[in-house]
Chain A
Amino acid sequence: MSQPTDAIRARGLVKRYGEVTAVDGLDLGVARGVICALLGPNGAGKTTTINILTTLTRPDAGTASVAGFDVVKQANEVRQRIGVTFQDIVLDPDLTGRQVLDVHARLYRIGREERKRRMAELVALVQLEGALDRLVKTYSGGMKRRLELARGLMTSPEVLFLDEPTQGLDPQNRVGIWEYIRDLRARQGLSLLLTTHYMDEAEALADQVGIVDQGRLVAQGTPQSLVAELGADVIRIAGSGDSSHLVAQLGDLPFVDKVSHRPEAGLIQIGVDNGSRRLAEVVTLASGNGYLIEDIAVARPSLGDVFLKYTGRALRDE
């Protein structure tokens, strides 16, 4: 799967901050032209990974290359070929939108005519034409994010990194940013790595999802294939009583793919071949084991269920 032409390739990345191991042997491969989402809770090591891949932080161990260049030994080559938006909004409040884009492009030695041309194109893409000559401090949160997106693209990067691109935005603005990112997919050759702790964001945007937990990549694949691994349907039951026997017995049933169990929340999640057909059997088994069901639901599995399967925790438990 990994060829030298991959957009991103990481092997065994490790980064420690004192006692804390932020990234703990992370492997990642992203092919060119692909949108990959790193999904994981806060503190999973997503931002540290982005910092290593964008040459801001040196890894303690492991290697990584971006656009074919080593992020440590050929940092400047990497920097010429990437665009980044950071987790926090990083904009000079006392500059206008036009100046922000212009200064950025000048740092990359892009000529005046080219700067003008790209600015016109990108500002149209993120719909900031009317606000371009206003000071950034008068922008709304969504406008700032759109300006940052345009800034990341000013230098025509081969690989674009977006760290939590919609954090802190209201739902309407989030959907807007998603649309801009999907538009980018149309650009030839652009590869994109974004991090998110929103399941719907990964599902809406990504060709490929990597699940990050405690500094490792625990699963990677298309959202469809990851979800399909869980089985056709998921039965979720919540209740009280002795669940350990029930979980053991469920695991032995031929039609059950995978049982995830969170005793502290009283939740059991069962991947089955057909939810509505197996519902009765699950209920019978539960009452036979003295488990009192309080709530039961059949659902198509989601990335959230995938996350639970690989990490034993819901994405929201932080």
Chain B
Amino acid sequence: MDATLTIWSKHMLKFWRNREESLGLALQSLLWVVLFGVGMRAMLGELTGGDYMSFVVPGIIALSALSGAVAGGTVLLDERLRGIVKEYLAAPIPRLSILLGNAASTTTKALLQALIILIVGAAMGARLTLNPLGWLGAFVLMVLFSLGFAALALAVAARTSSMMGYHGLIFLLNLPVLFASNALYPLAVLPTWMQVVTLLNPTTYAIDGLRGAAFGADGTIPYWICLLVLLAFTSLSVWLALIAFRKVTR
């Protein structure tokens, strides 16, 4: 636990120091809500009864968590390529803490970004719930979702030997995962085959649960199912990442 915390705090330190990264992240969130959200609302306003912002903010949060996970993988890959991971490996710490420290810092950044998106989204007209339990529920989902994809990215980062290879493999994690979900369009309007695809995608459960918990929307899927699916997904990802990591370090 100590080692996880140490690695987490080191990454956060680097994150604050690196102004391009921290400011870039904030600006990215802002632009997504303002440009994408407002633009889509203008087009779809009439179709969705005017509350597209409440609908799309959870999707934008998921998107930022996905790109955050990709960036989190590059942190590990960079430390691997520089040999810094050897410092951890020669230290009396569990191998798992190296992964958890990485995933924790990625998740923290994603949560910070989610906070900005929520604030900007609310300012642009998204109707947030006032129920603190809803907030807690949303928080749990965001942590699980971000942790799960961070671990997947770490699994890839543990195995690839170059930045190029990493980005080639990781491309799958980003936009396709987003498009094959309910982030930008409601489940109900999709053709059946695409509904099946989206229901296999954990992103769908994160977003649907988030809409229900934080925005009081009528969830298509019950919250407890979203929670279970994400729990299973995150455990599986962390397990995969640990296997990938073990293989490389021996």
Residues of A near any B CB (own CB < 8 A): 54-58, 76, 79-80, 82, 84, 86, 88, 90-92, 94-95, 99, 103-104, 106-109
Contacts and interface: CB of A to CB of B under 8 A. Distances in A.
Contacts of B46: none
Interface in B1-27: 2-3, 6-7, 9-10, 13-14, 17-18
Q: Report whether over half of chain A's contact residues are helix, strand or loop; otherwise say mixed.
A: loop
Number of contact residues on B: which range applies?
A: 20 to 34
Q: Report whether over half of chain B's contact residues are helix, strand or loop; otherwise say mixed.
A: helix
B250 interface: yes
Nearest to A57: B250
B82 A95 contact: no
Contacts of A103: 6, 9-10
Given A80-B92, A84-B90, A92 B6 contact: no
Nearest to B17: A94
Contact of A92 (B3, B9, B14, B91): B14
Contacts of B2: 106, 109
A56 B250 CA distance: 7
Nearest to A107: B91
B92 A108 contact: yes
Interface string B225-250: 00000000000000000000000011
6 contacts: A88-B83, A90-B84, A106-B6, A107-B3, A107-B87, A107-B88
B14 A56 contact: no
Nearest to A81: B92
A106 B87 CA distance: 12
Nearest to B85: A90
Contact of A108 (B13, B17, B82, B91): B91
A92 B13 CA distance: 12
Given A56-B89, A90-B82, A103-B6, 16 more contacts: A56-B90, A79-B90, A79-B91, A82-B90, A84-B90, A90-B83, A90-B84, A90-B87, A91-B84, A92-B79, A92-B82, A92-B84, A94-B18, A106-B2, A107-B87, A108-B92
Nearest to A155: B91
Nearest to B14: A94
Interface core residue of A55, A80, A91, A106 (most chain B CB under 10 Å): A106
Contact of A86 (B3, B86, B93, B249): B86
A95 B14 contact: yes
Nearest to A83: B90
Nearest 4 pairs of A and B residues by beta carbon: A79-B92, A90-B83, A106-B6, A107-B91
A241 to B, nearest CB: 50
Contacts of B7: 107
